[in-house]
Every structure is written in structure tokens, then in C-alpha cells.
Amino acid sequence: MNSYIEIINNEKVYVAVLNAGKCKAYSSFLKELVASFSLPESASSNFNDITGYICLPSWFDEYKTIKIILSNSGSLKKNANRFDEIITDLNILKNSWQSISPQHKFIVEIL
């Protein structure tokens, strides 16, 4: 399962599940992100394209909260440089999402 919708306090939350075990290469992380948001495959070549798609009005009109779950992260954490790069990008995505509206939330869970 790459994504699903949760209802929390009558609010729809988009939950994207990324298999961190597949993110040994940066390009694999981008592909996981694209798959979890059902974005066009062409977006996987550029992180800025991914951010642009997610921050489109069609997303923020329907969802106020996005939750990213990095599952199977044990091997990724062992590669500190790759792990830090991914967390940095998720923070960029978080800042972009939350800058749209004060009500927007972006949550990252590392399992």
C-alpha cells in the first residue's frame, strides 16, 4: 500500500507510505514519493516537480494534513548521508506545504 486516507477529527488526512528500504539511491526515494502520491512518473526525475504537484490547489483544497510514513527505515538509517538527504527534502516539502496556509500540517513518521 502506497497511500490511503485517514479521517481525524472530521478532517481528511492524506497518508503516503514510502518503503525506505527501497531508498538506497536518491532516485529510488523520488520514485517512492511519486508512487505514494500517484504523480506522473515523469515527476520522479526532479524533486522540485514533485513539490510542485503536491502543492497544487487540487491537493490543498481537499487535504489540510499530509502524513509521510517512512517504513522499513533500518537500512536507510545506516546510510547517514542518504537518510539526511531524504529528511532534508521532506523538510523542504513540509515547509512548502505549510506555507500555503497556517492550517496545513505535514507529519513525518519514521518506522
**pLDDT tens across 29-51, in order?**
999 999 999 899 999 999 999 99
State whether the Cα torsion 26-30-36-41 is positive or negative.
negative
Q: Half-sphere exposure (CA, 13 Å, Cβ side) for 12?
A: 9
Element (H, E) at 76: helix 74-78
Give domain limits for the chain: 3-106
**pLDDT tens across 13-29, in order?**
999 999 999 998 999 99
Q: How confident is the model at residue 55 (pLDDT cuts 50, 70, 90)?
A: confident
Q: How confident is the model at residue 1 (pLDDT cuts 50, 70, 90)?
A: low
Alpha-carbon dihedral of residues 21, 18, 54, 8, nearest 10 degrees? -150
What pTM was estimated for this model as a whole? 0.90
Distance, CA of 54 to CA of 80 (rounded, Å): 26
**pLDDT tens across 76-85, in order?**
899 999 999 9
